[in-house]
Amino acid sequence: MTTPKDDNPATAHPTGLQPSPADANRSEQAAAVLAQEPGEALTTNQGLPISDNQNSLRAGPRGPTLLEDHILREKIMHFDHERIPERVVHARGAGAHGFFEVYKSMSNYTKAGFLQDPQVKTPVFVRFSTVVGSRGSADTARDVRGFAVKFYTQEGNFDLVGNNMPVFFIQDAIKFPDLVHAIKPEPHHEIPQASAAHDTFWDFISLMPESAHMIMWVMSDRAIPRSFSMMEGFGVHTFRFINESGKSSFVKFHWKPVLGVHSLVWDEAVKLAGKDPDFHRRDLWEAINQGHYPEWELGVQIVPEEDEYKFDFDLLDATKLIPELLVPVQIIGKLTLNRNPDNFFAETEQVAFHPGHIVPGIDFSNDPLLQGRLFSYTDTQLSRLGSTNFHEIPINRPIAAVNNNQRDGHMRQTIIKGRVSYEPNSLGDGCPMQQPWEQGGFVSYGESLEGEKMRVRSDSFADHFSQAALFWRSQSAWEKDHIIAALLFELGKVEVDTVRERMVSILTQIDKFLAYRVAEGLGMAVPPPPGGAADVPRNDGLEMDPTLSMSNTRKDSIVGRKVAVLIADNVDQTSIHAVCKALEAEGATVKFIAPRLGEIKSSEKESIKVNHSLPTVGSVLFDAVFIPGGQRSVETLCANADAVLFVKEAYKHGKAIAAHHDGTLLLAQAARSAGIADGAFKGPGVITLSPQAVNDSFVKNFIAAIAMHRFTERPDLNAIVA
């Protein structure tokens, strides 16, 4: 029988059959469902109303998250698979190979093999990343930086998956999809890219007071590091060390950069996004190629299990840190990166980290954010890398032998012979077989648990503002000014007045002066405290912790620093030789910048190869500037707008500037263009010498100034337009 056909293909049924009136009615209902506006009731994907979207299901207020939490699993799994093939978060990254060496055996605390013998070099692969932006975004966006280390140990891979900030926005993993949805580009127009400066993010944050501490870190200059090698790393969560006898201690992991903790300023970060959006990944690549291997020392804060409750905060709360004044960081080893990847995609892009990749002697705590991550990472890798066999990709492959009964799956590479793929068995002589703790097997720590099955947040997680206030009080004056400026920029982009008001209301609980400055800058009155603020517990035991301020970091090295030397024809060759040789001997990289590419002739008729032309670079790409003498050279530069801007911008950003002899004329020209009344750039970090030859004192003072990183106390910085 021939089926009648609809002449209008737009209304034809997918099967080719004419729809009946009942079918048409159902199709209209289905279309209405598919096009429906968001309703009032929060439900699962199956329409089940959700009574609590704030807390995972756990065994008691501080107990582990339960696998039966189908709401958490559905929410996290949907989130994990939302974007392919790039990572949902941490999409933009850079990586390198290296090794880790422990300084002394940690056997008193842990049986982890790679932490026992100082003679053993454990191979590592490290990936740094931004969190919010896509793969095509800029390196210098204001953002958290991922700091993930894969240790290829003899007991299997250990992944220390952390960030450059010690705390996080949320306390429970069930809120992670909400956080990322809020901070990602808004779904109706996909704007803005790689930025938190928009309504949905601050709407979410202003309704989540637990985020107050993390917001202070993100609004600080920690969110715009100078380089990967000058930022800290943190494991964020509280883990466990377990020694050979089974004794457990709580542990927090820290990476301390050997070069100190240094940052960009916001104006630099914005300009770098245009001048060189690959600034951080280029810096890492070039440093390794030049033999200036980035180094970090591994530190741990260890808390005996019996001291779990001695603090006025909860060790399981990822929005809290352990102040170093209370528990000093013990430095136990060093990480060195000494080899760039051979293929970005095969290594940096395909590397798969997971906080659940641990080794005997390291175990988890019941941190509810960590517990959710243990599920999420595997699920994400299955989606992103397309196979359960992602562990066989070379960059993910452990150096320890892999021996199990998992055989098949998409893109399986290992060919295992034999008929046995199950356990227990007798046909394979019982192999592979379980290994007890005494023989190196992993055994989960035997923690006693008791509690009702419930969705609830522990009361010990309730203090949202004390550590945010501690961070604020611990900052130097210039760091506080930068936090205020960041909040004014971010909240100034928010279009909904009530969101701004609600956020400033939160700030009143951190510091009244902070809230006043932000409110004043936004042109609004300071709002009243948020509802229920009086009931939030406070524990202001510490007035400040100096380790939280970058002002107290190391400032005695110029290794890896980039110094621009501004030159033109007839530059003084003698001063160039004296200064540049000394800079390179201290580990700095020197680049010659001129009005044009090619070669220029010095006053001694020697040829100098130009590395960059002035129109293609800016002072934001460098840490310091040297202006050698040579009258005709300096006159040419004084007449060049790019050269004048270069110096003026470097001065505004507090960078070290040295000028020899006629070079001081370019300093004066830049000062006049900046509107400085007396026509002179001066103050700390400005090193001049005229008219005598370059001497040791001049060179040493310049090197010391570069090591200081930045001089925020210079006069008139805010008045200079550059």
The residues carrying an active-site annotation are 90, 163
| Per-position DSSP letters for 300-367, written without gaps between them | EEEEEGGGTTSSSS-TT-TT----TTTSPPEEEEEEEEEE--S-IIIIIIT----TT---TTEEE---
Find out whether 352 and 574 touch, Cβ atoms under 8 Å. no
In angstroms, rounded to a whole number, what is the distance separating the alpha carbons of residues 190 and 199?
13
In angstroms, rounded to a whole number, what is the distance separating the alpha carbons of residues 347 and 174?
31
DSSP state of 3: P
Phi, psi at 558, each rounded to 5°: -120, 20
DSSP state of 146: E
In angstroms, rounded to a whole number, what is the distance separating the alpha carbons of residues 521 and 526?
11
Q: Cα dist. 385→343, 396, 629 in Å?
A: 16, 11, 57
In angstroms, rounded to a whole number, what is the distance separating the alpha carbons of residues 403 and 407?
10
H or E segment and range at residue 200: helix 199-206
Find out whether 507 and 514 touch, Cβ atoms under 8 Å. yes
The count of other CB atoms within 10 Å of the CB of residue 553 is 17
Q: Cα dist. 237→315, 367, 368 in Å?
A: 8, 7, 10
In angstroms, rounded to a whole number, what is the distance separating the alpha carbons of residues 669 and 679?
7
- Residue type at 333? G
H or E segment and range at residue 521: helix 512-522
- Spatial CA neighbour of 159 closest among 373, 4, 330: 373
In angstroms, rounded to a whole number, what is the distance separating the alpha carbons of residues 318 and 200?
23
- Residue type at 535? D
Angle (nearest 5°) at CA 153 between 102 and 440: 100
- Residue type at 643? A
Q: Where does 549-664 show beta strands of DSSP type E?
A: 562-566, 589-594, 599-601, 607-609, 612-613, 624-627, 656-660
Give the HSE-up count for residue 161: Cα atoms under 13 Å, Cβ half-sphere: 19
In angstroms, rounded to a whole number, what is the distance separating the alpha carbons of residues 263 and 223?
8
